[in-house]
Amino acid sequence: MPVPLKAGEVLRGRYKINRIIGQGGMGSIYLADDLRLEGRLCALKEVENDRSVPEDLLKEAREQFFREATVLARLDHPNLPKVSDYFSIGNRDYLVMDYVPGKDLRTMMMEARQANTFLTEDDVLTWASQLADALTYLHSQDPPILHRDIKPSNLKVTPSGLVKLVDFGLVKFLAPGEVTVTILQGQGTALYTPLEQYGGDGGHTDVRSDIYAFGATLYHLLTNKAPADARERFLNPDSFVLPRSINPNISPRTERAILWAMGLHPSERPESVEQFRQSLLGDHPTIPAPYNRQITLRDALRLPPERSMAWVSLGLVLLSLVLTLLK
């Protein structure tokens, strides 16, 4: 793990480190004072590049970081933090964003659980509507942008009630031919990650990958219980517990929409965030017939050839991961 910066350090003669507000295996997120704009707080996301990577690959990765940071800096949406700057120091890259005050939804969910209650469905659906706005905006960019790490802890509610989708760490740009890289390499958080994302950057992900994570996030917020991850569901379909069996106060409509979003294969999910939003909130739900059955490997092999091959490919990726863990 990279050695964290110390409080009081100043980067680029402008950003004075206040404290760490988040930490991961490849770097930290810092709260910093902007010395050029008095009173402004910002969040600095740090990524330390692997020192063992050959120099030419490091140069290529850094060039890509700057290209993609430039795209992120052009984004402007009320439910996304504004990216204002980016730079590199040594083998570390930095992305500067607006600091978002408030609580993240994981914290709010944990508080509800400690009080032996659930977040209300009305509140969760209000937040879901705002998240849908943010994702629709990202997916409508040219090329489309995937977030790839949607989860409760990456959703913050400001004191005014505005939801912000934070942490662009795994953003993926759907360039022609699926040549994609992220500002921070990774495959997302396992509990909310669809099967196709386990293949790494070579895996075929699209907007439906974000929709899976969206559905898994709503599942967790409404039940106080994380869903079984996609690998476990594929290997053991009985591991998936229906949301209403945990929290009977969830409406049947909301449960059906969540189950649709969490289809194991992308073709079993809504085709767009807007379609998912309509299934949750619209006047006329567009959910296909009961979506609570889990596809097994035997089922996958009975599918039409094009879908069967996709499932087999996912299964092989999963099997290789299991074998690696057993070594």
Largest CA-CA distance found in the chain, in angstroms, rounded = 63
Q: Report which residue type is found at 61.
A: A
Q: How far is CA 315 from CA 96, 113, 253, in A?
A: 39, 35, 31
In a 3-state reduction of DSSP, which class is residue 241?
coil
Q: Where are the alpha helices (DSSP H) in the chain?
A: 55-74, 105-114, 121-139, 207-223, 230-235, 243-246, 252-261, 273-281, 297-301, 305-326
Q: Is residue 3 a contact partner of residue 23, using CB atoms and an 8 Å limit?
A: no
Phi, psi dihedral angles at 246 (to 5 degrees): -95, -45
Instruction: State the catalytic residue, choosing from 149, 167, 210, 229.
Output: 149
Q: Is residue 272 a contact partner of residue 295, using CB atoms and an 8 Å limit?
A: no
**149 labelled catalytic:** yes
Q: Around Cβ 63, how many Cβ atoms within 10 Å?
A: 10
Q: Which residues are catalytic?
A: 149
